[in-house]
Amino acid sequence: MNQSAPSLSSAGREPGQPGALPDGERRKRLRRWRTIKDYFAKYSVGTFGVGVIIALALIFVYLFSEVAPMLRPASLTVEAQYPAPGGTQAETLHIAMDRHKAVAVRYTSEREAVFFNTVDGSVIRREALPIPEDVRVTAFGLAEPRNRLSIFGLENGEALLVRHEFNESFSRDGRLYNPSLVYPVRDGERVLLDVAGDGSGIASIAIQRGSTGTSVAAALDDGRLRLVRFEETTSFLTGEVTVRRNAYDIPRLPEGAEPTRVLLDITMRHLLVGDNQGHLHYYDVSRPAQAERVDSKRIIRADSAEVSALEYLLGTVSVIVGGSEGSVSQIMLVRDEDNINRITRVRDFESHASAVTGISPEYIRKGFVTYDAGGNLKLHYSTSYRTLLSRTVTDAPLALVHMAPRANGLFAVDNQERVHKVDVFNPHPEVSVRALWGKVWYEGRSQPEYVWQSSSATDEFEPKFSLMPLTLGTVKAAFYAMLFAMPLAILGAVYSAYFMSPKLRQLVKPSIEIMEALPTVILGFLAGLWLAPFAERNLPAVFSILLLMPVFLIFAGYVWMKWMPRALLQRVPDGWEAAILVPVVIFVGWACVVLSPWVEIALFSGDMRQWLTDVGITYDQRNAMVVGIAMGFAVIPTIYSISEDAVFNVPKHLTQGALALGATPWQTVTRVVLLTASPGIFSAVMIGFGRAVGETMIVLMATGNSPVMNFNIFEGMRTLSANIAVEMPEAAVGGTHYRILFLAALVLFVLTFFLNTIAEIVRHRLRKRYSSL
């Protein structure tokens, strides 16, 4: 204790005064000294006490403070405005900045690339593109923005593929840039690639580049569609790259439709063509020679409206459509029952007041920005069905907007060729009530679903943050645990509080307390490594124990009471039934296991697990049944000891009164004891449930941790707590995933706190009632 209460320790070492009283002066000094110490003790204990309580409150505050940033709305601020670097007389085809938002490039219609400083628009470098003076640029296309790859379609049917590099390097003075242009695909020595084949002009062009090669899709002036593939092979001897060019003609659009926009996905299998009548056409080009139109659909709702913008999102799975009436919606290819991809409208976003002039996707997320002729722009996020922000940046119509690589900024260029550099604050667009708790139509799925899948190996992955499977898994695990624990714990509590002999009780209570102290990691390991395979092998045994055990217990009691010799019965006092039944429990358990294979042969054609599969029930080795038993085992002591307390403290005069009126002991229990103690038992169940909800190690070890959405007892689950344990160490600090895990922790915290508080209040009331009875 000495080190724990330094303030008090000196009081113990006060010099004693043997014999006569000290003189008045010394007594006064002593008294003052003692008062000081008393004050000191009071305030230091107070500080510590309040400090500890504040520390505990801090947990809640901190958890909330980590979740709160998700609630902050997105915002944007215009940081700088300047006339387009490199001259405003040329039109901006594309503008993009590096990931630190320090350097940017602008491609102009005057066949030039201008690298400039984003802060003030000062030009760093200008480079002319190798396009002949007299040839006009008629089309422009972008690969996925993160590839920094652009293509210029020319009026002579050729195209130029160019990639800009910012080439950052680090030195003592900070970051240095040496931007340059690269022409990654050449046809022989030429950088200009022949697309049309016959010199007709290119109206619209699309490009994608993957590990195997590059594909260019184009719509020509005369309405023909062309697909050109450049397959690159690297000779492993010389390291030389040879490019093979294959050009294909793709079937035309139906009569009367003029292609306005072509889109090619990164797998280079799907070609989407938009036309001037608001239709989208889907071509399967996985074998370009046999390319065919699979589906066509009008993708704009309003009859009079036209499609004014069409752009892929990251991963090129879904397409955002902007309409001339201002509508914004998302389209995906979804497989129907016949396994054919169909153009399907997935969701709509907040509309613009005027025609959508363009769409710019984010580099690394499924967000995008749309802008309109009124100078207004809106930030959207696909997975969360959200429109996060709507702001007018300038009064002039916006001609071009492009997101920064980290989605923390954007360039907006208006029709007067003024560049607005905008800072965007939008860290958690993935979160919405709908995304967390509702059904969401994810990319690549055929319908809206509840899915938790927070990460994957690829960059274009769409994180799926539905908390529903986890919540359901938590409830499922807790439900089966309670199903197992409640009857055992409550019956056991009633028995040991009311019927059991005091001697036996002295033995039972500590054992149950030991049971409570057993680390859950041990229960989890036994459940996962021993019980799960055992139950899989001896499924009939598990169920026959469940069914036969109560029957045999009662039967054993009957046998004992009726057939045992009187002499023996008298030797065993009342309240020892539990001890007598121990051998019965062991015997029934053992017999069920031994007989299990025979039951299997007799009833389940020799293999119950196979039989279940044949009936159509999925069986996982580590399933809800195993968790129910193991976690039930963990919560039995909690429920038992609290309800035992409640039953034991039922005032004796009540039960004695009932017995005196002629009720049998069991009648007394059901009509008097249980009724009086029911609030206590209720609070025991609440606390037990709270424990089951938060338990981590058992579910982590005894299930497969797959986030499924069902209540099948033979399948596993993933709970909120296990999910935190699995994913927290890998979550990027401050990211949306990290904060959602904090949210899960907060939900657990609040839920268990709430359950426990109810239980505590109920218990408190009960105690009062007992004392008044």
Partner 1 sequence: MKDWFSKGSPWIWLSGGAVSICMVAVTGLVLMIAINGLSHFWPKPVVEFEYRLPGQSEGQRVIGEVNRTETMTAIAMREAGLTVPEGQELVTRHMIKRGNRDVTGQDFVWYLDDHMYDRRFPRDILVLERLTWGDFYGYLVDYRIDGEVVAEGAEARAAFRQRMAETADLVREINVIERVDIGDVNFRMEQLRLRDRGLNLNERLSEAQREQARAEMAERQAALDEDYAVLEQRRNELRHEVGRYAITMETMEGQMRTIRLDAVVHAWWPNDMSMFQKMGHYGRNFWDFVSGYPREANTEGGILPAIYGTVLMVILMSIVVTPFGVLAAIYLREYAKQGWLTRVIRISVNNLAGVPSIVFGVFGLGFFVYFLGGNIDRLFYQEALPSPTFGSPALIWASLTLALLTLPVVIVATEEGLSRIPRSIRDGSLALGATKAETLWRTVIPLAAPAMMTGVILSVARAAGEVAPLMLVGVVKLAPSLPLDGNAPFLHLDRAFMHLGFHIFDVGFQSPNVEAGRPLVYATALILVALIIVLNLTAMIIRNRLRERYRSESD
Tell me whether residue 90 or residue 599 sits nearer to partner 1 (CB atom).
599
CB 405 within 8 A of CB 362: no
CB of 528 to partner 1, least distance (A): 6
436 binds partner 1 (CB under 8 A): no
CB 431 within 8 A of CB 384: yes
Tell me whether residue 213 or residue 492 sits nearer to partner 1 (CB atom).
492
Task: Pick the binder of partner 1 from 440, 741, 762, 766 (CB under 8 A).
Answer: 741
Cα 42 → chain centroid: 49
518 binds partner 1 (CB under 8 A): yes
CB of 530 to partner 1, least distance (A): 8
- Number of helices and strands (H, E) in the chain? 18, 33
Task: Pick the binder of partner 1 from 169, 236, 562, 616 (CB under 8 A).
Answer: 562
Task: Pick the binder of partner 1 from 22, 26, 29, 50 (CB under 8 A).
Answer: 50
Quote the strand ranges of 118-201, DSSP E. Answer: 123-128, 137-142, 149-154, 158-165, 168-171, 174-177, 180-182, 192-194
Tell me whether residue 46 or residue 251 sits nearer to partner 1 (CB atom).
46
Distance CA 703, CA 621 (A): 8
80 binds partner 1 (CB under 8 A): no
CB 695 within 8 A of CB 764: no
Distance CA 329, CA 323 (A): 9
* Residue 72: both structure tokens together: 């902050």
Tell me whether residue 4 or residue 304 sits nearer to partner 1 (CB atom).
4
Interface of this chain with partner 1, residues 365 to 394, rule: CB under 8 A: none
Give the CA radius of gyration of the chain: 38
DSSP label at residue 669: I
Residues 6 or more apart whose Cβ sits within 8 Å of residue 79: 409, 421, 422, 423
Interface of this chain with partner 1, residues 451 to 510, rule: CB under 8 A: 487-489, 491-492, 494-496, 499-500, 508, 510
Task: Pick the binder of partner 1 from 757, 768, 769, 773 (CB under 8 A).
Answer: 757
Q: In this chain, which stretch among 193-201, 330-338, 403-411, 748-756 interacts with partner 1, using CB under 8 A?
A: 748-756
Count of residues interacting with partner 1 (CB under 8 A): 127
Q: What DSSP letter does each residue of 45-104 carry, written as one string? A: HHHHHHHHHHHHHHHHHHHHHHHGGGGSPPEEEEEEEEEPTT-SSSPEEEEEE-TTSSEE
Tell me whether residue 410 or residue 634 sits nearer to partner 1 (CB atom).
634
**Residue 508: left if φ>0, alpha if ψ -120 to 50, beta else—which one?**
alpha
Cα 203 → chain centroid: 43
Quote the strand ranges of 533-683, DSSP E. Answer: none
Cα 752 → chain centroid: 21
448 binds partner 1 (CB under 8 A): no
Distance CA 465, CA 432 (A): 10
**Sign for the pseudo-dihedral over CA of 359, 263, 342, 384:** negative
CB of 243 to partner 1, least distance (A): 42
191 binds partner 1 (CB under 8 A): no
Distance CA 445, CA 181 (A): 39
572 binds partner 1 (CB under 8 A): no
Interface of this chain with partner 1, residues 5 to 34, rule: CB under 8 A: 5, 7-9, 11-12, 34
Mapped onto helix, strand or coil, the DSSP state of residue 658 is helix
522 binds partner 1 (CB under 8 A): yes
577 binds partner 1 (CB under 8 A): yes
Q: In this chain, which stretch among 43-51, 207-215, 346-354, 359-367 interacts with partner 1, using CB under 8 A?
A: 43-51
Interface mask (CB under 8 A) for partner 1, residues 664-703, using x and -?
A: xxxx-xx----------------x--xx-xxxxx--xx--
Distance CA 228, CA 206 (A): 10
Tell me whether residue 158 or residue 536 sits nearer to partner 1 (CB atom).
536
Task: Pick the binder of partner 1 from 553, 612, 659, 709 (CB under 8 A).
Answer: 553
526 binds partner 1 (CB under 8 A): yes
DSSP label at residue 289: G
**Sign for the pseudo-dihedral over CA of 490, 494, 500, 506:** positive
CB 198 within 8 A of CB 177: no
48 binds partner 1 (CB under 8 A): yes
Mapped onto helix, strand or coil, the DSSP state of residue 312 is strand
Closest CA to 577 of 591, 547, 556: 556
Task: Pick the binder of partner 1 from 368, 640, 682, 714 (CB under 8 A).
Answer: 640
Q: In this chain, which stretch among 284-292, 338-346, 676-684, 719-727 interacts with partner 1, using CB under 8 A?
A: 719-727
Interface of this chain with partner 1, residues 651 to 670, rule: CB under 8 A: 664-667, 669-670
CB of 101 to partner 1, least distance (A): 22
Q: In this chain, which stretch among 193-201, 341-349, 462-470, 518-526 interacts with partner 1, using CB under 8 A?
A: 518-526
CA distances to 70, 385, 437, 440, 595 from 434, rounded to whole Å, are 14, 8, 5, 7, 51
CB 73 within 8 A of CB 386: no
Tell me whether residue 456 or residue 670 sits nearer to partner 1 (CB atom).
670
Task: Pick the binder of partner 1 from 217, 631, 642, 724 (CB under 8 A).
Answer: 724
Task: Pick the binder of partner 1 from 416, 753, 765, 768 (CB under 8 A).
Answer: 753
Tell me whether residue 618 or residue 670 sits nearer to partner 1 (CB atom).
670
CB 427 within 8 A of CB 736: yes
645 binds partner 1 (CB under 8 A): no
CB 247 within 8 A of CB 224: no
Tell me whether residue 13 or residue 133 sits nearer to partner 1 (CB atom).
13
**Which helix (H) or strand (E) segment is 567 a member of?**
helix 566-571
513 binds partner 1 (CB under 8 A): yes
340 binds partner 1 (CB under 8 A): no
CB of 631 to partner 1, least distance (A): 13
How many CA atoms does the CB half-sphere of 221 hold within 13 Å? 14
Tell me whether residue 204 or residue 703 sits nearer to partner 1 (CB atom).
703
68 binds partner 1 (CB under 8 A): no
CB of 582 to partner 1, least distance (A): 5
CB of 512 to partner 1, least distance (A): 7
617 binds partner 1 (CB under 8 A): no
Mapped onto helix, strand or coil, the DSSP state of residue 538 is coil
Task: Pick the binder of partner 1 from 407, 440, 512, 762 (CB under 8 A).
Answer: 512
419 binds partner 1 (CB under 8 A): no
537 binds partner 1 (CB under 8 A): yes
Interface of this chain with partner 1, residues 270 to 309, rule: CB under 8 A: none
